[in-house]
Amino acid sequence: MKAGIATVGDRARAYFLALSDRARPRHAAPRPPADQHAAANAPTAPMRHGRPDGSVPRIAALDQVSLRARIGILAALVAALAVVLVSIAAFVTVRANILETLDANLLQRASAAAQSELADPRQLATIPTEVLGAGDIRLALLLSDGRASSAEGQASAPPLGVDELAVAQGVETSSARTASEDGIQYRVVAVQAGAGQALVIAQRLDSTQQVLTKLGVALPIVGGIGVVLAAFAGFFIARAGLRPVDRLTAATERVAATGELRPIPVEGSDELARLTRSFNDMLGALAASQEQQRRLVADAGHELRTPLTSMRTNLELLAAASRPGAPTLPDSDRAEILEDVQAQVAELSTLVGDLVELARDDVPLVVHEPLELTDVVLRALERARRRAGDVEFVPMLVPWTLVGDSTALERAVLNLLDNAAKWSPPGGRVRVQMRPLDEWWIVLEVADAGPGIAEEDLPRVFDRFYRAATSRTMPGSGLGLAIVRQVAVRHGGAVWAGRAPEGGALLAVRLPGRQPRF
- Give pLDDT tens digits for 332-361: 888 888 888 887 787 677 667 767 766 655
- What count of residues does the chain have? 518
- Give pLDDT tens digits for 185-204: 888 999 888 788 888 888 88
- Say whether both 180 and 127 belong to one domain: yes
- Give pLDDT tens digits for 372-384: 999 999 999 998 8
CATH number, domain at 309? 1.10.287.130
Angle at 130 between CA 124 and CA 135, to 5 degrees: 120
Range of the domain at 196: 117-204
Asked if the structure places residue 107 within a domain, the reply is: no
- Give pLDDT tens digits for 87-115: 889 889 988 888 888 888 888 887 877 77
Q: What is the mean pLDDT of the chain?
A: 77
Structural domain total, the chain: 3
Give 32 or 295, the one with higher predicted confidence.
Answer: 295
Model confidence at 27, pLDDT cuts 50, 70, 90, reads very low
CATH number, domain at 140? 3.30.450
pLDDT over 90, % of the chain:
13
Contact at 8 Å (CB) between 440 and 17?
no
CA distance 384 to 237: 69
| Mean per-residue pLDDT, 258-270 | 77
| Mean per-residue pLDDT, 296-305 | 68
- Say whether both 374 and 354 belong to one domain: no
DSSP secondary structure string, 98-149?
A: HHHHHHHHHHHHHHHHHTTGGGSHHHHTTS-GGGGT-TTEEEEEEETTS-EE
Enumerate residues 6+ apart whose C-beta is below 8 A from 391.
Answer: 420, 421, 424, 426, 427, 428, 429, 430
Asked if the structure places residue 376 within a domain, the reply is: yes
CATH number, domain at 485? 3.30.565.10
Among 359, 386, 414, the domain boundary falls at 359
CA distance 197 to 191: 9
Most confidently modeled range among 11-20, 254-263, 334-343, 428-437: 428-437
Q: How many Cβ atoms from other residues are within 10 Å of residue 116's Cβ?
A: 13
- Say whether both 408 and 353 belong to one domain: no
Give the pLDDT score at 481: 86
Contact at 8 Å (CB) between 98 and 208?
yes
Among 330, 359, 388, the domain boundary falls at 359
- Give pLDDT tens digits for 33-90: 444 444 444 444 444 445 555 555 555 555 667 777 777 788 788 888 888 888 889 8
- Whether 468 shows a pLDDT value over 90: the answer reads no
